[in-house]
Amino acid sequence: MSRIRITGGEWRSRLIQVIDGPGLRPTPDRVRETLFNWLGHDLGGLRCLDLFAGSGILGFEAASRGAAEVVLIESERRAFAQLKRNAAMFADPRLKPMCGDALKCATNLAPGFDLLFLDPPYRQGWLEKIEPLLPQLAQPAARIYAEAEYPIEALGAWRCVRHGHAGQVHFHLLENS
């Protein structure tokens, strides 16, 4: 088990526990700092979806910066149990952890998220599977953050407006064109 810190907002410097699990790769501090520089540090009022939550660090960062609602979906039971423990530590009703398959959960969520975090397991085609659901999940002005093992130019109507690379990870900010 390891720990990672929240980099900004009201919970800045708080640590969360992260289990060692297959395919679990929490987004590094430097990448999160870049992402929230791109997004702006105040996410006040936004509805956020962390569809492949893993450790939940992206969702916790969003809530720390004022997001109104953060839905965190994780399918792996051990990772979800730790995610739920971490969410309970903050005792904040804006954090809504859910255990389940990303595709099944996505089809049952209320539409219209403002910000989506997509950091799925690599080499399983998840981004391609989620792409048809984006118009239902995201409001037209939504922004999407996506991590992949390769560069992404677009996901549906959302086009890459910012891109970075750290080690084997390509990270992207996409906006509706």
- Each residue's pLDDT tens digit, 6-15: 999 999 999 9
**Hey, is 82 helix, strand or coil?**
helix
Question: Which of the two residues, 28 and 159, has the higher pLDDT score?
Answer: 159
**Which two tokens mark 63?**
């809530």
- Number of domains, the chain: 1
Residue % of the chain over a pLDDT of 90: 88
The answer, yes or no, to whether residue 33 has pLDDT greater than 80, is yes
Domain hosting 172: range is 2-176
The answer, yes or no, to whether residue 23 has pLDDT greater than 80, is no
Compute the distance between CA of residue 112 and CA of residue 93 in angstroms, rounded to an integer: 19
Which secondary structure element, helix H or strand E, spans residue 84, and what is its range?
helix 77-90
Banded pLDDT at 22 (limits 50, 70, 90): confident
Sheet holding 158-166, edge to edge: 95-99, 69-74, 47-50, 113-118, 138-148, 169-176, 158-166, 154-155
Residue 127 is part of a domain; what is its CATH number? 3.40.50.150
pLDDT at 177: 83
The answer, yes or no, to whether residue 24 has pLDDT greater than 80, is no
* pTM summary value: 0.95
Average pLDDT over residues 156-166: 97
The answer, yes or no, to whether residue 70 has pLDDT greater than 80, is yes
- Rounded (to 5) percent helix, strand, coil in the chain: 30, 35, 35
pLDDT at 118: 98
Q: Sign of torsion, CA 159 150 101 114?
A: negative
Which residues are within 8 A (CB) of 95 and not within 5 positions of it... i.e. 6 or more apart?
Answer: 59, 60, 63, 70, 72, 87
pLDDT at 27: 87
User: How do strand 69-74 and strand 47-50 relate by DSSP bridges?
Assistant: parallel
The answer, yes or no, to whether residue 125 has pLDDT greater than 90, is yes
pLDDT at 1: 82
